[in-house]
Amino acid sequence: MAETKPADDFQNRSLARQKAIKDFSIKYAIYLVFMALVIAITIKEPSFLSIQNFRNILSMSATRIIIAMGIGGILLTGGTDLSAGRQVGLAAVVSASLLQFMDYPRRMYPMMPELPPWLPIVITIAVCALVGLLNGVIIAYLKVPPFITTLGTMVAAYGVTSIYFDRPPYGAQPIGGLRKDLTTLGSGYIGFDGTYSIPYIVIIAVVVAAIIWVLHNKTRFGKNIYAIGGNPEAAKVSGVPVAKNLIIVYTIAGALYGLAGMLEAARTGGATNNYGNGYELDAIAACVVGGVSVAGGIGTVPGMIVGVLIFSIISYGLTFININPYWQQIIKGAIIVSAVALDIRKYLAKR
């Protein structure tokens, strides 16, 4: 047998190291860029790394995480949902209109008795779950592509929200005067003071994420959605009820949008028909940055959460150091395109 020369052995090890570095860079490129941005922001403004800022970022991210849990499940099946943001707006308006103070002068329903807080919340979630159910039925049984289906429901949901919002005698005025039992969910916290505390809205987001993690990883339903995203035809042949699971995925997503919309109204203390505009794009981008494949079948709940936090930290950080909002959009766009390009490259490499 021919002996391996030391020079050849050194060259092989060098090539192996280069390949390992290249693979690592491709796999974690987005995270490396994110770390570089955080370091740059911190160098410019050291006070960025504070407990109060971290708390603010978590509060800002909470509803986005809930939305990402809904859209993430849809992306895993190989679908998409453009109606998410408008469903959030619908939920915000419905929940706010049903939970106003009795003596508020511009109460949307002056003659309605004070409802127990759980009832409007259930109604709001149910309304958006029905929109999700409609999406699922159209996609699963009428075979209309998810992009077209949810584009249609996005437009329709905004129309319904605007009609509901623009009601006499006050017309299209922001809905205010929200009851404390609603706003507490968005601004209340557990702890000693505003800094060293955990906001209720963050706790709710964590609970939702934990439930979705269990659904995705510990149930037959979770295995089915990964199988559908990986290869829907193979999943169908294997006995997976594809249509049924798609309907469930979109219905759960709708319910999560409803919860997120209600919390957005609670967090801001009001609602208009423009709430939620563009949220679906942010959620899709966050999921992709967090490792959810645009081809379906690949992604994790922790990855979705990380994706949301990355965008929240970037937005908050760039605003913190007074970067022009237009430049912020350019930076976000570059990150999204890069994440999708890397995802496609990894997908092609596995084929």
pLDDT at 76: 95
Number of Cβ atoms within 10 Å of the Cβ of 156 = 14
Mean pLDDT of 129-141: 97
CB-CB contact of 82 with 280 (8 Å): yes
Q: Picking from 25-34, 150-159, 292-301, which range would have the lowest pLDDT averaged per residue?
A: 25-34
Residues ≥6 apart with Cβ < 8 Å to 4? none
Of 280, 285, 246, the residue nearest 261 (C-alpha): 280
What's the CA gap between 88 and 183, in Å, rounded? 17
Say what the pTM is.
0.88
Mean pLDDT of 38-61: 86
Mean pLDDT of 77-95: 95
Mean pLDDT of 301-322: 88
Confidence of residue 252 (pLDDT cuts 50, 70, 90): very high
CB-CB contact of 335 with 32 (8 Å): no
Mean pLDDT of 166-194: 81
Higher pLDDT, residue 17 or 321: 321
Which structure tokens are listed for 142? 């009428």
pLDDT at 346: 62
Tell me the pLDDT of the chain averaged across its residues: 87
Q: Picking from 87-91, 171-175, 185-189, 190-194, which range would have the lowest pLDDT averaged per residue?
A: 190-194
Question: In the chain, what percentage of residues exceed pLDDT 90?
Answer: 44
Q: Is the pLDDT of residue 10 over 70?
A: no
Higher pLDDT, residue 25 or 53: 53
Confidence of residue 1 (pLDDT cuts 50, 70, 90): very low
Higher pLDDT, residue 310 or 153: 153
Higher pLDDT, residue 260 or 60: 260
Q: What are the residue ranges spanned by the domains of the chain?
A: 49-276
Q: Picking from 114-123, 323-332, 336-345, which range would have the lowest pLDDT averaged per residue?
A: 336-345
Query: What string of DSSP letters covers 167-212?
Result: BTTTBS--B--B-HHHHHHHH-EEESSSSSEEEHHHHHHHHHHHHH
Of 328, 306, 308, 307, the residue nearest 317 (C-alpha): 328
pLDDT at 344: 65
pLDDT at 98: 92
pLDDT at 173: 80
Beta bridge partners of 189: 199
Mean pLDDT of 257-269: 94
Of 31, 26, 54, 30, the residue nearest 42 (C-alpha): 54
Confidence of residue 4 (pLDDT cuts 50, 70, 90): low
**Terminal Cα-to-Cα distance of the chain (whole angstroms):** 36
Which structure tokens are listed for 205? 């987001």
User: C-alpha angle 142/295/21, rounded to 5°?
Assistant: 175
Beta bridge partners of 134: none
pLDDT at 328: 82
Of 86, 166, 65, the residue nearest 128 (C-alpha): 86
Q: Which residue has the tokens 């699971």?
A: 245
